[in-house]
Amino acid sequence: MAMEVAHREGRLMEPHSLLDSWCKGSLNIPLSSFFTRSIGEGVSIKFWDEEWLGTFKLAEVYPRLYALESMKDCNIADRLFKSNGHISLAWNWRRCIRGSREKEEMDSLTCLIQGVELKSGPDGWNWALESSEKFTVKSLRVKLDEQILSSSHEKIRWNPLVPKKVNILVWRADKDSLATRCNLDKRCIDLRSILCPMCEDDVETLDHLMGRCSWSRNIWNLIFKWCGVSLSGDLDYKSVCNFVNHLSTEKKRMFSPFHLQCFEAIIFTSIWHIWRSRNAKVFRLKESNGSDILSRMFKAYHFVGLVIRCKNF
């Protein structure tokens, strides 16, 4: 893998620098452990301060020798070189090795680096998740999926009547991971305002945008009225999104599972349209009202709406 993998602020970053920042984030996955150094000519790997012989640094394993080193940030090429096909050593100590502990460390280190091979070409990185040792986004994605999805025991809601993108948006909203202004503010992103862009009356949280906002409340009133359902009381995200799940057993019995799935599809798609309309206002200054969204819903769910309205909630 190429040493130089990304630019940030005009500066080239090495893989381990990027991985360090990932690991310190919320993923909590030891990604850096999947990379190991591949040694070329050894001109860009620190002899004492990088983990190039295993998962340890020579400076930590051989502290007495490191203390004697004259050039502590030397590279592998400063200490090892090829001579007649063999690896030769070029030490640069502040003084001679003396005492049994220093000699022990010296013998051990000499033994350890005997098997090292220097190759022509630049130093690089090997990726442990592929047999080819070449980094692939696919292998990383599979690893992240395993880690993230297996750590969640929540059942993922999936309505087969709506497109994947709608289900995914609802899944993200369930986890409160949509980029509402409140969530962006929590991540220390500097915003001019954290007020709801649709009404500017309150902070834009998920609950506000999807239920409490006068703008979205009007949309829900129209949508539910279209389906023959009257809404009352306060709304928040969960109460809207789980409306079908929270119907009483008695009311659920009035419908076939397909009817209930249709009603949930309308709710999920409305959430999708609310989020899209919100983004259109924020990023393109495009206004949408309840009637606009309802007309889009009519087009997509005309038949479904008719089916549901036949029933009496």
Binding residues vs Zn ion (CB under 5 A): 196, 198-199, 213
Residue 106 vs 223, nearer CB to Zn ion:
223
Residue 6 backbone dihedrals phi, psi, to 5 degrees: -160, 155
Residue 109 vs 198, nearer CB to Zn ion:
198
Tokens representing residue 67 in the block: 């203390």
Q: How many angstroms separate the Cα of 247 from the Cα of each of 97, 179, 250? A: 81, 30, 8
CB of 229 to Zn ion, least distance (A): 22
CB of 208 to Zn ion, least distance (A): 6
Report the C-alpha gap between 211 and 78 in whole angstroms: 65
CB of 241 to Zn ion, least distance (A): 17
Grouping H, G, I as helix, E, B as strand and the rest as coil, residue 101 is helix
Residue 197 vs 305, nearer CB to Zn ion:
197
CB of 237 to Zn ion, least distance (A): 13
Report the C-alpha gap between 213 and 205 in whole angstroms: 10
Contact 48, 66 (CB under 8 A): yes
CB of 209 to Zn ion, least distance (A): 6
CB of 219 to Zn ion, least distance (A): 11
Tokens representing residue 284 in the block: 């393109």
CB of 230 to Zn ion, least distance (A): 22
Residue 77 vs 209, nearer CB to Zn ion:
209
Residue 84 backbone dihedrals phi, psi, to 5 degrees: 50, 40
Residue 77 vs 213, nearer CB to Zn ion:
213
Residue 118 vs 199, nearer CB to Zn ion:
199
Residue 45 vs 209, nearer CB to Zn ion:
209
Residue 135 vs 272, nearer CB to Zn ion:
272
CB of 286 to Zn ion, least distance (A): 16
Question: Which amino acid, 225?
Answer: K
Contact 218, 193 (CB under 8 A): no
| Burial class for 272, CB neighbours closer than 10 Å (0-12, 13-18, 19+) | buried
3-state helix, strand, coil in the chain (%, to 5): 50, 10, 40
Q: How many angstroms separate the Cα of 80 from the Cα of each of 36, 59, 112? A: 19, 16, 13
CB of 274 to Zn ion, least distance (A): 11
**Beta-strand runs (E) in the chain:** 6-8, 11-13, 35-38, 80-83, 86-89, 124-127
- Hey, which residues does 260 pair with through a beta bridge? none
Residue 77 vs 196, nearer CB to Zn ion:
196
Q: CA 275, 278, 280 angle in degrees (round to 5)?
A: 110
